Amino acid sequence: MKKNLLCFVLAFLSFSSFAQKIPFDIKKSSVFKDEYKHSSIALVEDDGKGGVVVVRSYVGGAFSTGLGYYFEHYDASLKLIKEFEYELKYSKAVRQSSVLGVIMDGENVNIIDFMYEKDQKAYICSSMSANINDFNFKKNELFRVNSDEIKQFAFLGFGVFDRDSGSRMIVNEDRTAFAVTVDIKDRNVETHRMFVFDQSLRKNIDHTFKRDIKDRKFVYENIDVSKDGKTIYVLGKVYTDEQKKKKEGGKYQYELTSITGENVKTQVFDSNEHFAASLKTIVLDNRLICLGFYSDRKDTRFKGICYYELNPTGLEVKKVKFNPFTEQFMIDKYGTDKDKELKNLFFRKIITTANGDIIFNAEEFYITSYYYASPYGGGTSQMIYHYDDIVSARINSNGEIVWARNINKRQKTGEDESYISYTSTAVGNDAYFFINTGEKVKKLSNDRIQFGQTGIKRSNLNIIKISENGDFDYQEILDDKENEVPFMVSNGALSGNSTFFIGRKGTKKQLLKVSL
């Protein structure tokens, strides 16, 4: 009884400050229209004069085919100074193509492209580069791979390391360097070509990564690029014959490999009696961290956060911590019902604070399917994508949990997920989350709250703050009745202390800047 009363008091004290004033500033651009309905922010860069350069990718639909980028230069008040449209066009010799990503170097913007040239029998990675003052794009080849070396052509996008086949671009957190990886054909040995360039497109690394194990037994977890662009770190989850014999924990081991222009080093470690279903690598100035969720029973039921710290040069393991979720976190998540554990957690973003702590964010994501039978026979099926609770934890330099919080949320969609989920950031030592909701925040038992469903027709923008000591606060910052368009909250782009969102309703669009 005393324990339950203590839990109630802690929850009340933590949540009693809700709906207090959170300092922020909002600026909006004019409402405008594009030729193409669908676009998303690919990049936001400060212009050094108080304004920003916004790069938006667009794709046409059934009645307006096209593929390319809008470049928009705004002043500090989000007044449009200059704009340029760059449509991607390819010769008849190009059979397959994809833009892997965009990176800027001062006033120069670089679009990184990967394509198959049939006439040359090669896959060629190129940059299309221009200065933002004239947008005179010029093409430059970065590297090429013979077509008979490629295992399978499958472009998987921008921002997260390739899990299997295809090509992918990975940009480091400081946007000072990037890597491009290409899967190479070899049935018995896991093989990738890895190229690393700095933001000025100087090539620092050209390496063929090999692991003497079948492809399906090596799962890429993560890759990260150092700030100076001279080292890449590859984290793999490896299912070896030796690990199969383990009586406890996961039947696998983790292998972290550092690659430079001169050396390759690998460190092997596992989670012993625990299950660490997946890990994420974080490269700081003088620290190399692997973080993830762990369980003592099944890979999909998590009990806490595991922490590995390694020497970034020699890769020796310096610290290992298994942190159970805090009592406060369990109150957030379940009230006084503790006979539950988390599952279906996916990494969303890792943020470092001003004092070097790590804020580790994830979201409960899963997919359900429904079959609708027709009275005349047959039927249709629909996939529903669920974006539920947000998990956030702050880890100090000793690998210990400072606080862990759960943000209750229930959102789902069968269509465009851009208006649900969230965007997170940190300013100073505080964490912030932007969430849309189409209804009033719901009160739960034990002084908890829950953010509900949202959509294009009704979408109120909220901000959530978790302070340095773990105190929780929230506030609505935009009511949908005040806006001509709803904003795509899951596609926020960060620049300094500001977060940018694009809003859309039909052909109408608007840019929003929220400064903290």
Specify the DSSP element, H or E, that contains 512: strand 508-515
Going by DSSP bridges, is the β-strand pair 67-74/80-87 parallel, antiparallel, or unpaired?
Answer: antiparallel
User: Under a CB-based contact definition with an 8 Å cutoff, are residues 433 and 390 in contact?
Assistant: yes
Closest CA relative to residue 465, chosen from 455, 477, 452, 453:
477
312 pairs with which residues across the strands?
Answer: none
The position carrying tokens 């090539």 is: 203
User: Under a CB-based contact definition with an 8 Å cutoff, are residues 474 and 394 in contact?
Assistant: no
Highest mean pLDDT (candidates 295-304, 364-373, 397-406): 397-406
In this predicted model, what pLDDT tens digit does every residue of 86-95 receive, in sequence order? 887 766 555 5
On average, the pLDDT of the chain sits at 83
With 60 as the cut, is the pLDDT of residue 308 above it? yes
Tell which wins on pLDDT, 448 or 61.
Answer: 448
Question: In this structure, is residue 238 part of a structural domain?
Answer: no
What tokens does 281 get?
Answer: 């690598």
Going by DSSP bridges, is the β-strand pair 167-171/155-158 parallel, antiparallel, or unpaired?
Answer: parallel
Q: Percentage of residues in the chain with pLDDT exceeding 70?
A: 86
CA–CA separation, 389 vs 411, rounded Å? 9
The position carrying tokens 């590859």 is: 234
In this predicted model, what pLDDT tens digit does every residue of 105-116 receive, in sequence order? 988 999 999 888
H-type helices in 164-302, by residue range?
241-244
Residue 367: Cβ within 10 Å count: 10
The model's confidence at residue 271, banded by pLDDT at 50, 70 and 90, is confident
Question: In this structure, is residue 175 part of a structural domain?
Answer: no
In this predicted model, what pLDDT tens digit does every residue of 455-501 receive, in sequence order? 666 788 999 999 999 988 888 899 888 888 889 999 999 988 999 99
- Look at residue 371 in the predicted model and tell me its pLDDT: 81
Average confidence (pLDDT) over 330-340: 74
- Look at residue 455 in the predicted model and tell me its pLDDT: 64
- Look at residue 191 in the predicted model and tell me its pLDDT: 87
Candidate from 109-118, 184-193, 502-511 with smallest mean pLDDT: 184-193
Question: In this structure, is residue 81 part of a structural domain?
Answer: no
Q: Who's near 13: CB < 8 A, 6+ residues apart?
A: none
- Look at residue 230 in the predicted model and tell me its pLDDT: 94
Closest CA relative to residue 216, chosen from 176, 246, 189:
189
End-to-end CA distance of the chain: 42
CA–CA separation, 423 vs 490, rounded Å? 5
- Look at residue 24 in the predicted model and tell me its pLDDT: 92
The radius of gyration computed from the CA coordinates of the chain, to the nearest angstrom, equals: 24
Question: In this structure, is residue 327 part of a structural domain?
Answer: no
With 70 as the cut, is the pLDDT of residue 446 above it? no
Average confidence (pLDDT) over 227-255: 84
Question: In this structure, is residue 407 part of a structural domain?
Answer: yes
What tokens does 443 get?
Answer: 């009160």
In this predicted model, what pLDDT tens digit does every residue of 120-144 receive, in sequence order? 888 899 999 999 888 999 999 999 9
CA dihedral sign, ordered 19, 78, 352, 408: positive
Residue 382 is part of which domain span?
Answer: 1-30+337-516
How many helices (H) does the chain have, and how many strands (E)?
A: 3, 37
Residue 264: Cβ within 10 Å count: 12
- Look at residue 333 in the predicted model and tell me its pLDDT: 84
Question: In this structure, is residue 457 part of a structural domain?
Answer: yes
Average confidence (pLDDT) over 16-43: 80
CA–CA separation, 112 vs 218, rounded Å? 27
Going by DSSP bridges, is the β-strand pair 232-238/218-225 parallel, antiparallel, or unpaired?
Answer: antiparallel
Sequential DSSP letters for 247-264 = SSS-S-EEEEEEE-SS-E
Closest CA relative to residue 422, chosen from 351, 330, 367:
351
Candidate from 70-84, 100-114, 331-345 with smallest mean pLDDT: 331-345
Report angle CA 300, 434, 420 to the nearest 5 degrees: 60
Q: Who's near 132: CB < 8 A, 6+ residues apart?
A: 47, 53, 71, 73, 82, 107, 108, 109
Supply the pTM of this predicted model.
0.86
User: Under a CB-based contact definition with an 8 Å cutoff, are residues 327 and 403 in contact?
Assistant: no
- Look at residue 65 in the predicted model and tell me its pLDDT: 65
With 80 as the cut, is the pLDDT of residue 440 above it? no
With 90 as the cut, is the pLDDT of residue 330 above it? no
Question: In this structure, is residue 387 part of a structural domain?
Answer: yes
Amino acid type, 92: K
CA–CA separation, 197 vs 157, rounded Å? 18
| HSE (side-chain half, CA atoms, 13 Å) at 460 | 15
The position carrying tokens 């290992």 is: 320
Question: In this structure, is residue 202 part of a structural domain?
Answer: no
- Look at residue 162 in the predicted model and tell me its pLDDT: 38
| HSE (side-chain half, CA atoms, 13 Å) at 323 | 26
Average confidence (pLDDT) over 345-355: 86
The DSSP letter of residue 484 is S
Closest CA relative to residue 158, chosen from 13, 7, 302, 41:
41
Total structural domains within the chain: 1
Amino acid type, 507: T
The model's confidence at residue 28, banded by pLDDT at 50, 70 and 90, is very high
The position carrying tokens 């390819």 is: 90
Report angle CA 500, 504, 508 to the nearest 5 degrees: 120
